Chains A and B, each alone.
Chain A
């Protein structure tokens, strides 16, 4: 069990716990503030309640199992590959940056138009990922590749598939 997998598992457990907490909170709010009974055959909350209970139970068992496994493998974990760990954090950082870039692209789509926003996004991402050298060649390839991607996408979506683009 590497530290990277513990980190990945912790993130996933945190996400599922937050979802379970939010769902439980809403069920509590609906049952106490709006006076809707949870345990009643006609209640609209009975099914979500059962699902939340199953989910919380499974999360609990999983956490207990993971902690047990963690304690059993403590020595191995301490000596585990730190590179794995760094790789995972690096991946997560890249993905979050990419998420931000995509959200920025969405913002640009609203503020400008499809062709400008998409060209900027496409070219920047390609430039970021592409490893070609020298720089001039890289810039030329990226601009060319962006142009040959966007024009067909725009044409196919708007003229063939009748999709209204921003």
Chain B
């Protein structure tokens, strides 16, 4: 571990913290822009930088939630519920200090789980065949399209859009050219990093152009000692920390779900379990800050376990991370734990340092970050555009990539305005070749659609995954929800 790597992690963490704290700039967007900075890096330096930015981005999201009531990231939505009321009660420093401390604890739990889960799942994944991989990726896409919020049909439609865009270019098995319409530009397919910069970076620029709000932080100056964790508060939230950390890790581990769902689930569970909170939930309960923040950071470890051992990104953030790994020549998947085990431990170490760095820099630099949150829109909008343009251009020194990037931004804007989720497009773009290759390999190996279905049912892991896919869709059906509710009330009575 050299000092250079440490510097890379720290710089990545600072960038992640600042961008994660800026309202409207999601962790995904932070990661996309950070990845575009690493094109000229060695692989190990890039890994250090990306890991630091990831940890910083996740932790930074809570700052805007508490001080502005605007979540810096999707995963920090639940932190708003009680974080902002605490700020209004004049306890912003306590809330910020608590959120950063529990994020550290959650992050450490997640990393410990990553070490255990990575090994176990890596070994299990070696026994997976095409059927299991197909169903696992299908489950991931199903979860993303169903849980992205809003209409389930819209989720499925955008997933299909992502899959079709991912199929542009050469077919992965036979080399047949599809969906290019004679254009040489499309022969190599659409670069997913370009699509990501457009869908997450440029789209946010367009959305903030149409936003009529500007942010102003009041009383935004906190003393260092006020941000340090207070034993009296920590004592009250030990319970929520204890159950939120495993909840976050497990949800992060599932393909298709990430910190945002983990945080909301942990908040919901805490609301159910804690009968006497410090203040009522929604009015400044410390438990309501501790639970989502713990789960949010614990999800990092779970998401990385799936990413590294199966090669499947859990959510849009890990999809960007996977894209950056591919770009730097790192190939996560079942063989990763055998052939590139040293990189696994390097990533674990970088995440560990990144989480500590995010905590200490978060505390020391919170006042500066609060100042940066107040940066005016007229300054931020063109600056982010320049970063998006430079990021997409620098990928292959190709000006057409910039044109594609702006197109994807516009596509993302139109979809967002109509309440279509955007993250399934990116996940489908990344998982597209994997899902298609495994589906067709399984189909060729079994010989017919009927035999393929039989193989899904006869292989134990496939069978479980098939049930999971079916349940994902059924759980959204109003009839099934009603039936479960009736059954629950029947058992209860």
Contact = CB atoms under 8 A, between A and B. Distances in A.
A157 interface: yes
Interface residues of A, number: 64
Interface stretch (B65-73, B102-110, B159-167): B159-167
B385 A59 contact: no
Nearest to A25: B181
Interface residues of B, number: 65
Interface string A108-140: 011000100010011001100111000000000
B234 interface: no
Contact of A122 (B39, B382, B409): B382
Interface in B200-214: 202, 205-206, 209-210
B326 interface: no
Interface of A: 5, 8-9, 11-13, 15-16, 19-20, 22-23, 26, 30, 36, 41-42, 44-48, 51-52, 54-55, 58-59, 61-62, 65, 88, 91, 94-95, 98-99, 102-103, 105-106, 109-110, 114, 118, 121-122, 125-126, 129-131, 145, 149-150, 153, 156-157, 161-166
Interface string B162-180: 0110010001011010110
27 contacts: A15-B414, A15-B415, A30-B176, A36-B176, A41-B443, A42-B444, A44-B174, A46-B440, A46-B443, A47-B436, A47-B440, A51-B167, A58-B160, A62-B153, A95-B206, A95-B209, A99-B409, A102-B406, A114-B390, A122-B382, A122-B383, A125-B378, A131-B378, A163-B37, A163-B40, A163-B394, A166-B399
Interface string B395-429: 00101001100100111011101111000000000
A125 B382 contact: yes
A91 B176 contact: no
B448 interface: yes
A51 B41 CA distance: 38
A126 B412 CA distance: 23
Contact of A121 (B181, B386, B417): B386
B161 A19 contact: yes
B448 A41 contact: yes
Contact of A126 (B378, B413, B436): B378
B5 to A, nearest CB: 15
Given A26-B181, A58-B157, A149-B386, 14 more contacts: A12-B417, A16-B161, A22-B181, A41-B447, A46-B443, A48-B164, A88-B417, A109-B399, A118-B386, A121-B386, A131-B378, A145-B379, A163-B39, A166-B399
Interface in B367-400: 376-379, 381-383, 385-387, 389-390, 393-394, 397, 399
Contacts of A61: 153
A102 B389 contact: yes
A71 B399 CA distance: 46
Given A41-B444, A61-B153, A129 B377 contact: yes
B54 interface: no
Nearest to B175: A44
A55 B158 CA distance: 9
A15 B411 contact: yes
B271 interface: no
A110 B153 contact: no
A162 B390 CA distance: 12
Contacts of B399: 106, 109-110, 166
B155 to A, nearest CB: 9
B418 A8 contact: yes
Contacts of B443: 41, 46
B167 to A, nearest CB: 5
B33 to A, nearest CB: 12
A146 to B, nearest CB: 8
Nearest to B445: A41
Contact of A11 (B397, B403, B418): B418
Q: Which 4 A-B pairs give the minimum distances between C-beta atoms? A: A162-B40, A12-B418, A91-B210, A55-B160
A51 B163 contact: yes
Interface in B108-163: 151, 153-154, 156-158, 160-161, 163
Contact of B385 (A62, A102, A163): A102
